[in-house]
Chains A and B, each alone.
Chain A
Amino acid sequence: MARAKFHTLTEQMFYVLLCLREELCGIDILDRVPEMTGGRVSVGSGTLYNLLEQFLDASFIREPRGEGRRRSYVLTERGRGTLRAEYERIRAQAADYRRVFGEDEHEQI
């Protein structure tokens, strides 16, 4: 399921990958996601750990170095590509929305 799921990322997957543009450890990601989204999105520690495992399996991220329990992660080219594809998908959705409702209605909302 996980591989198929990566065709479209969930919000939490998206932000975890986005955080990893720079090298971070798990604990930093927990702080960084709410910070980045103004508290709108938070990632639970159980979810984060499993996401990191799945991203590692899918080679979306890599571990530049392992320092005992403080493992850190960074985005790979493949992960960057997936993130880019997701961004394009969201952008296309936003463009479609605007085309249907127009810019004015969008602003009213």
Chain B
Amino acid sequence: MSRYKRVFDLLHVYDKQGRHELFERMAARGWELSGGGRFTWKFRRAEPSRARYASAYFKRASEFAPPDSDELAFRELCERTGWEFVCSRGQMQVFVNREAEPLPLDTDPQLEFALTDGLARRNAIFSAVMLAVSLLLLWYTLGRALDDRLGALVSMDTLVLPLLVLGVALCCLGDLICWALWRRRARAAAERGEFYAARRIARINAAIPLPLTALLALSALGWLLWGGSGTESIRVVVSVIAVFAAGAAGTAVSSRLRAAEASRGKNIALSAITVFAVCAAVSLIGVLLTWREDDASAAPLTINSLTGDDYAYAVYIESRGSPFAELYSYEERYVPFGDACPEPAPGEDVSARLRYSVYRARIPSAYPKLREGVLWEHQGHTEPCGAAPFGAEEAWYIEKSYPGVEQAWILCYGGSVVYLEYNRALTAENCAAIAAAFGGESV
């Protein structure tokens, strides 16, 4: 049986009573508080006891420095009334008292309210800033999704990011509302000379991030199931992991250095170096995960399958998707640098360039949206052309819609829409190859 146990602490800074109840409940079950992390409390096995816990905020305490003489004097003063210091987390100092009816650590409700409110207000300012940033991001991500509806339909990022940002904004708003409610009631209670136990508000406040966590988990699952090989998605996940890993490593280093009584400057410097190093390491892993030689062997259509040569061109493949539709993008061309394309022999023609995007509907109702979306992107440049050679249901020819693109086609195959650019004249064999690649039958 493990001798130590860690318990997550989602309680708000003003929910002192909730925190004390947690410690007392754990002590009654035989788990004695032994330390505090940034988001957790550490308990060790002990005889079940009916100890009383209390916490106080010591303004000058720092998580990067060992306790100074003032902090030690404060603890000594508390010990004088039976409150033994247990552990600290930032400014919060936790004490235990084993007497049946001890004199409380805080006996002045107005002073206690003022001190707690000072800390809670700092959190509220952070929530307000986060709310403003989230609303800006929401405006940006929604605007992007509305501007590029086709992209939004085939991307988990564009679908999920506004939801996540909205979730963060709602969490921050909930945090601010709970703080304002607590503040109003706690101040009124303090003016009456009473301590305010904000259990219901605090419980709601603690529960607010849970739906966001569930949304994050669902989004991660969605990315895994439908996201394709989207490097953007992997980058988002790697960034989130980097933030958490760096935060955890920084906290661990800082608490160890604090325990070893290292100076504040040394602690901050080493913690910052750790945070940067972990961020860099996780980012490097992310780069290695997303960086790969694209393998053209699984591509439905290549320049080789159209021209019959076996000349190696550089290939770029990207696939992404959502529960509604998926996108497979392929680009192949000569790149005059790097290892992807060998140096052409004198007189060898390496000017072929093939690019296509296959939008495939995952649910039938997505197909008309995909068709409309692709046609809308090229509106004004399309003219209907014969679909039969491509084995498609409908086909459009596009001439010079973008600089550098001489000709392109939009081909509709019932369940999928293909946008194809090829800078050479298409032969009947080419059309048959295209039909075979995208599920049609050339006529």
* Residues of A in contact with B (beta carbons under 8 Å apart): 1-2, 5, 10, 12-13, 26-27, 30, 42-51, 53-54, 68-71
| B residues less than 8 Å from A30 (CB atoms) | 77, 80-81
CA separation between A44 and B115, bound complex, in Å?
15
B103 touches A42 (CB 8 A): yes
B108 touches A10 (CB 8 A): yes
B56 beta carbon closer than 8 Å to chain A:
yes
B159 beta carbon closer than 8 Å to chain A:
no
B54 beta carbon closer than 8 Å to chain A:
yes
A47 to chain B, nearest CB (A): 5
| B residues less than 8 Å from A71 (CB atoms) | 73
B69 touches A68 (CB 8 A): yes
Task: Give the one of A1, A5, A12, A45 with max B CB within 10 A.
Answer: A45
B73 touches A69 (CB 8 A): yes
A2 touches B107 (CB 8 A): no
CA separation between A46 and B56, bound complex, in Å?
6
B80 touches A44 (CB 8 A): no
Question: Residues 378-405 of chain B: 1 if any A CB is under 8 Å from the residue's CB, otherwise 0?
Answer: 0000000000000000000000000000
CA separation between A92 and B69, bound complex, in Å?
43
Query: Size of chain B's interface in residues, with CB distance under 8 A?
Result: 26
A45 touches B108 (CB 8 A): no
Per a CB cutoff under 8 Å, which of A1, A2, A45, A51 touches B78?
A: A45
B111 touches A26 (CB 8 A): no
Per a CB cutoff under 8 Å, which of B80, B110, B112, B114 touches A27?
A: B80
If A53-B59, A69-B76 touch, whether A42 touches B114 (CB-CB below 8 Å) is no
If A30-B81, A46-B54, A46-B56 touch, whether A12 touches B73 (CB-CB below 8 Å) is no
A–B Cβ pairs within 8 angstroms, 26 of them: A1-B114, A1-B117, A5-B114, A10-B108, A10-B111, A12-B107, A12-B111, A26-B73, A27-B76, A27-B77, A30-B77, A42-B107, A43-B108, A44-B107, A44-B108, A45-B105, A46-B105, A47-B105, A47-B108, A49-B56, A49-B77, A50-B56, A51-B108, A69-B69, A69-B76, A71-B73
B48 beta carbon closer than 8 Å to chain A:
no
A44 touches B105 (CB 8 A): yes
A10 touches B72 (CB 8 A): no
Counting from the closest, the 5 A-B pairs by CB-CB distance are A44-B107, A46-B105, A46-B56, A69-B73, A45-B78
